Chains A and B, each alone.
Chain A
Amino acid sequence: MDAAAGTAEASEQKPRKLISPPRLSESWRRRLPLLPALLIMIVLTQVPFVMSIYYSLTDWHVVPPGPRKFVGLDNYSHLFSDHFFGSAVWVSVQLAVIPVLGSLVLGTAFALLLDRKFIGRGLVRTLLITPFLLMPVVVGLIWKNQMFNDLYGVINWVVGKLGGTPVDFVARHPTMAIAVTLIWQWTPFMMLIMLAGLQSQPPDVLEAAKVDGATPWGIFRQLTLAHLRPYMELGILLGTIYLIQVYDLVAVMTGGGPGSTNVPYFVFQKSIGGGWEFGQASAYSIVVVVFSIIIATVSLRVLSRLLRGEETV
């Protein structure tokens, strides 16, 4: 949000120089009622963050209880030599990239179907959105027990009927099991974004292309996809921001371990999940925040470009 405010200010800078002092106070008078809200927001979000930065510079054990010692950047230098953190980062990357791309492809396909008129379209749309409305914990339990389980899961029942041997998917392939579940949950999100993109496509251009004798595939590839590109970028970036924070599915489906401990779960284990090393855990989470801010900044650029693009249309 900071970045958006920044770009807005930047574009307003030129006219502001021309504004005379009395009008400036006028604008401040207008902002005044917002200040308490701003203050509360700073106290609620930024103060804890600054405290986390301080904690990340200390050695703070709760179990066994010991005094909090200032250790400078030790926690951060330790971070890069910790291969468990390294593998958690790798799992986080996999759990962001695979679901984002998978749900983007599926979401685009469903959006293309929903963009056509057919009987019961409203009902189908509602059903397709449902996975996104379920609680992540419920989604995790459904997939772990009803879909993937090797004794009574639906997938293994089908595998058994087809003559294959059942596989304990969650235990054998935890990363893929979680990724597939995330694709199922996030496809509706991508579908909605793509649908918005498709419906904002100007019909006259499509008609003109048809009149000029373009094939449906040619229209899709050269016009629709080009039009959808900024929407895809937005979906990828928003999806990535959410998916690098996935914790619930990991906790419910595998409870951590190699191949499923991602960065949020790792931070949990280092802190209240048994490690009780709040100093180190703070350092890890600060690093995650920095990466998230970088991704968020990029995504907000895309968002503002999208809004500007619509203005010109």
Chain B
Amino acid sequence: MRGTRALSVSAALLAVVGVIATGCGGSDNTGQTSGGGGKSKGGSINVAIVDNPQMKDIAKLTPSLFTKRTGIKVNYTILDEGTLRQVTTRDVAAGGRQFDVAMIGPYEAPQFGKSGSLVDLTPMAQSDSAYRLGDIIPAVRNALSADGKMYAAPFYGESSFLMYRKDVLDKAGVKIPLHPTWDQVAAAARKVNTAKMAGICLRGKPGWGDLGASFTTVLNTFGGTWWSAKPDGSVDKAQVNTPAFRNALQFYVNLVHDAGEKDAANSSFNECLTQYKDSKVAMWYDATVAAGLLEASDSAVKGKNGYAFAPVEKTKAAGWLWTWALAIPKTSSKQDLAWQYISWATGPQYLKAAGTRIDGGWAALPPGTRKSTYEIPQYKKAAAAFAGPTLSAIAAAPISNPGTTKRPGLPGVQYVGIPQFQDVGNQCTQQFSAVIAGRTSVDSALGNCQDVASQVNS
């Protein structure tokens, strides 16, 4: 009697364990079949991209513009910035073999390229006449290269600048100069801030590429830095507990508390974009690529916006430099197909073909990668308000000397070009975001962040 009872209990337990185990195995299998499927004439490739609007556009257009012509099926994995970074780092740096093409930026490309995890795209780009390598904007190409080798092909390029509602600011009698200071911007934001429309949208979502990017440009121009550098360019000491860092964080937090957007601790590019387009904020400091979406034919705020350079305090320029770019991991077994895709996605033909096909029209093209984009007549007309500011912002981005002191690691404005910054930036921005949410104090956040940053030694 007792035996059968125990037996039935353990059988039930085993059944449960079995179900869980098969569940785990199942997900792996589906991943493989979708990768191997569609092998009609051109084969298929797996591509990981970030979930910004321009990437969603290209994912939508790929079957009709690319697969139809080449027979290469493209399986997209579209992820938010933070998750994309985990996946690409796992796949590229640790040899995960999941993707044939991964979207990365100037933080990753030189690091991964130097460590031998990425295919050097220069030879393929040079021999591909349709690609027109020389057409790429030099600052963007440099940011993705190490020792003269280009490790990723730019899909769009951006700096950061200030976007504002001309109509709202005019009504309040506020004027924003072309080169504003943060004090001027903060004063303007506080003046136009109302219950219905916040003064300014600033990123507050944890993540080194989210809050970390916006905040670090403020930090740079306030004279602060994450780490001091030794003469050979390696990390010296964490500088989070210095007065300059404190001032920058206090300024940022105060501005968000006084005149910032609702739900600030959860907001990044996409959230601010939504709030700005819904007229919930009057100003917005973020990526230049946003302007194309604000001036797009389906935007409610089209034609109402002014653009100014990234606000400064102690430096001459403060805008960041970023580009989302496509790279091929060395572990990919389909490098030829991968290049065919990259050449199409980041080449001049896509830009011309997409203008009439995407919802936002010509203004919403991926900007900032090619000089020829700015010669397309339709684009020049649609992007008249922001094409000039975008190009000058990219050219002005102080990539090799972003602050008032020497930085450790590879060049970078809104990040520090060392591998550990990803982790430190993520952990510290969680602390800073908690300050923005009102959960913890500036002092305790800085203390914790200094502890995290001090663990980095070169």
Contact = CB atoms under 8 A, between A and B. Distances in A.
B5 A311 contact: yes
A126 B265 CA distance: 38
A97 B124 CA distance: 59
B154 to A, nearest CB: 23
Nearest to A63: B419
Nearest to B452: A84
Contacts of A48: none
A151 interface: yes
Contact of A307 (B9, B111, B262): B9
B437 A261 contact: no
Given A1-B13, A256-B430, A258-B440, A151 B419 contact: no
Contacts of B85: 274
A168 B207 CA distance: 20
Interface in A150-171: 150-151, 168, 170-171
Given A8-B6, A63-B419, A149-B263, 20 more contacts: A63-B93, A65-B115, A84-B448, A150-B263, A151-B263, A168-B266, A171-B439, A174-B439, A255-B82, A255-B206, A255-B207, A256-B206, A256-B430, A257-B434, A259-B439, A274-B86, A274-B423, A276-B93, A276-B94, A311-B5
Q: What is the size category of the interface that chain A forms with chain B?
A: 20 to 34
Given A65-B93, A168-B263, A258 B82 contact: no
**4 closest pairs, A vs B, by CB?**
A171-B437, A257-B430, A171-B265, A64-B419
Contacts of B265: 168, 171
Most buried by A among B89, B206, B419, B437: B437
Contacts of A150: 262-263
A20 B13 CA distance: 32
Interface residues of B, number: 40
A168 B115 contact: no
B429 to A, nearest CB: 9
Contacts, number: 90
A8 B438 CA distance: 54
Contacts of A4: 10
A311 B431 CA distance: 55
Interface of A: 1, 4, 8, 62-65, 83-84, 149-151, 168, 170-172, 174, 255-259, 261, 269, 272-276, 307, 311
B-side binding surface: helix, strand, loop or mixed?
helix
Given A149-B263, A261-B430, A276 B115 contact: no
A311 B207 CA distance: 56
Interface string B46-76: 0000000000000000000000000000000
B437 A172 contact: yes
Nearest to B280: A151
Contacts of B448: 84, 258
Contacts of A62: 89, 93-94
Contacts of A83: 451
B433 A257 contact: yes
A275 B427 CA distance: 10
A77 B22 CA distance: 37
10 contacts: A8-B6, A63-B94, A84-B451, A150-B263, A168-B266, A269-B423, A269-B426, A272-B86, A274-B422, A275-B423
Most buried by A among B10, B205, B419, B430: B430
A37 B82 CA distance: 40
Contact of B115 (A64, A151, A307): A64
B291 to A, nearest CB: 25
